[in-house]
Homo-oligomer: A and B are copies of this chain.
């Protein structure tokens, strides 16, 4: 590791503790200034009102070295966006205008990871299977079946390692000797729930136990809601197996929908309160009804199949753009010119970054500038 790399990792470790995620103002600062400079500015308190509000309480508490050592001692590592294994492809979902329009849907600053799998590979064909903690025997049975069949079909089963549906889904995947990812709402040193200590170890063997929280952080209630967005982001589709009408699983479904993921729900007896949330998702047309893994694979597989046969789909002109450039490009209407000021809201990108993004897009032949502002250049469809 070069000293530059070490400095980068150290900065991200510091930033991952200094604010409670999702921290939209801090995220923006990191994009603007880069992580090393952002860490220095935050530590010195030389930041905007908004960043100060997110970081003020913890900025003096620099435990980056200790955190990195503690996680290394657990056999873990810090994965940062600058790493090759960062799930950049999966996390483009945070860069869409819809996601950018809501402060809740921000990509993590870094991820604390324990496990033998690479995050980019694990997230490539991920399906989230989530649901109630106090699940019924029916729900656990179905979750285990789905977990088994999805893993056997080559999908990574993503869940939250909780009791009930989550645990059953992980176990099903492990029984099929497949790969599974647990996203935690606490530091990696806190096995949560404690009763799943051994399960988490087994998940880490070929898969990964992932958290955006540094060591020592406790799984407070609000962290589960924040964590749920990462479960949704890690997977192409999210299956809700059992959920009450007001439940974390339904919130994960809402996150998945906001992040442009396929949302699915498993029906159950209408007499079961734990299936009521699933039925509501279907009735409200927020989820597709699925009864077995093959139907899940059919729903998410369209994307997988497309990826597997890239020759059959025309390459899109925006392929290869980073999330910020993509967001600016997408904020531009197909046929009407816009000034940079008008693109800030729709793209979710700050004005000075919009101003630098537009010439970069112009260099790639995607946009042009005229008297009434910037406009899209219609790409040659054969390109």
- The minimal Cβ–Cβ distance linking A118 to chain B, given in whole angstroms, is 33
A292 near B270 (CB under 8 angstroms)? Answer: yes
- The minimal Cβ–Cβ distance linking A276 to chain B, given in whole angstroms, is 7
Number of A interface residues in the complex (CB < 8 A):
20
- The minimal Cβ–Cβ distance linking A149 to chain B, given in whole angstroms, is 12
A291 near B279 (CB under 8 angstroms)? Answer: yes
A295 near B267 (CB under 8 angstroms)? Answer: no
B271 near A270 (CB under 8 angstroms)? Answer: no
Query: What DSSP secondary structure best describes chain A's contact surface?
Result: mixed
- The minimal Cβ–Cβ distance linking A282 to chain B, given in whole angstroms, is 5
Q: Tell me which residues across on chain B come within 8 A of A276, comparing CB atoms.
A: 291
- The minimal Cβ–Cβ distance linking A267 to chain B, given in whole angstroms, is 3
Q: Tell me which residues across on chain B come within 8 A of A282, comparing CB atoms.
A: 267, 282, 289
* In the assembled complex, A243 has its CB within 8 A of some CB on chain B: no
Question: Given A267-B279, A268-B267, A270-B266, does the pair A289, B291 have CB atoms closer than 8 Å?
Answer: no
Q: Tell me which residues across on chain B come within 8 A of A275, comparing CB atoms.
A: 267
Q: Tell me the complex Cα distance, A270–B275, Å.
A: 11
* In the assembled complex, A50 has its CB within 8 A of some CB on chain B: no
Q: Tell me the complex Cα distance, A53–B318, Å.
A: 66
* In the assembled complex, A195 has its CB within 8 A of some CB on chain B: no
* In the assembled complex, A283 has its CB within 8 A of some CB on chain B: yes
Q: Tell me which residues across on chain B come within 8 A of A138, comparing CB atoms.
A: 269, 271
Question: Given A276-B291, A283-B289, does the pair A270, B269 have CB atoms closer than 8 Å?
Answer: no
Q: Tell me the complex Cα distance, A282–B279, Å.
A: 11
Q: Tell me which residues across on chain B come within 8 A of A290, comparing CB atoms.
A: 283
Q: Tell me which residues across on chain B come within 8 A of A267, comparing CB atoms.
A: 267-270, 275, 279, 282, 289
Q: What does the 1/0 interface line of A14-34 toward B look like (CB < 8 Å)?
A: 000000000000000000000
- The minimal Cβ–Cβ distance linking A292 to chain B, given in whole angstroms, is 7
* In the assembled complex, A158 has its CB within 8 A of some CB on chain B: no
* In the assembled complex, A190 has its CB within 8 A of some CB on chain B: no
* In the assembled complex, A355 has its CB within 8 A of some CB on chain B: no
Sample of 7 further A-B pairs with CB below 8 A, known A267-B269, A282-B282, A283-B290: A141-B271, A267-B289, A268-B268, A268-B270, A283-B288, A283-B289, A283-B291
